[in-house]
A and B are shown apart, each in its own frame.
Chain A
Amino acid sequence: MVDADLLKGLPPAEAERVLALGKRILLTAGAELFHLGDAADSLYLVARGRIRLTLPMQVRNREEDILVEELSSGQTAGWSALIPPHRFTLTAMAPLETETIALPREALNAYFAAHPDTGYAVSLNVASVIGQRLQLFQAMWLREIQRMVELRGA
């Protein structure tokens, strides 16, 4: 787990110290890690398995959870824990048995205050995760708009 995207650039021993702040959570297949709108108090690293991030969509008058992104080992879920207003903007569930490491915001903030170099490196990694997702969804959004324009024959 020391090569997780959140811990890139940290010396292995320092990465281990950050991981030691967390708690391992084992999810059975179909279990929910967090729900849209819940208070976001922890950041999660996927240690093993998969995490499906979904958003609700009305399909034939039924609310269905539609896949937005699927995370695998080494990836980070729930960065809303570090960004105000600290509410999850997606629902996360495990499609198969999955293990995550929950890193509480308070523990991270306290550690980063005492170790600013580590805080800086992790903050850059969080910014990278957020930036990649923003760019990805920006491109996906534009492709959908392009299709709408073509369908309307404009």
Chain B
Amino acid sequence: MEMLLMGVALSMFGLAVSCLAFGAATREEPATELATEKEAVKAAVANARFFAAAPALPVAARNRVPIEALLLQIENHVRLEQAAATCFLESPSATLLHSRTISTLVN
């Protein structure tokens, strides 16, 4: 009888421990903590995109642009840069030196 009671008691204890462990594992985190974490992830992703400027295209995708179009882009870029540099030389200032370009080669 004693053995039986001890077995039942141990089983109940084991069941209680299992329930506590299950409850801890499946408990929902507080809404504020979750929101903060999501914001942090979002900000990190946004920053990564900003610094990368433009996602790198796979080589195969880049090669799909006809080489003639690429060469035209390069030539257009050179002409735009010369025009920007000429403007700077006519009226030298840091603003004109670092004016933004509309060149499709770098945008």
Contact = CB atoms under 8 A, between A and B. Distances in A.
B51 to A, nearest CB: 4
Given A60-B70, A139-B84, A143-B85, 7 more contacts: A60-B67, A67-B78, A140-B82, A140-B84, A142-B97, A143-B84, A153-B51
B82 A69 contact: yes
A136 B86 contact: yes
B70 A59 contact: yes
Contacts of A69: 82
B71 A64 contact: yes
Contact of B89 (A59, A135, A146): A135
Say whether chain A's binding surface is mostly helix, strand, loop, or mixed: helix
Interface string B68-102: 00110011001101101110110000000110010
Contacts of B71: 59, 64, 66
Interface string A123-149: 000000000100111011011101100
Nearest to A142: B97
Contact of A139 (B53, B63, B70, B88): B88
A29 interface: no
Interface of B: 51, 53, 63, 67, 70-71, 74-75, 78-79, 81-82, 84-86, 88-89, 97-98, 101, 106
Contacts of B78: 66-68
A147 B106 contact: yes
A136 B85 contact: yes
A59 B75 contact: no
Nearest to B50: A153
A151 interface: yes
Contacts of B86: 136
B81 A66 contact: no
B106 A139 contact: no
A136 B98 contact: no
Interface in A40-66: 57, 59-60, 62, 64, 66
Contacts of A132: 89
Nearest to A52: B75
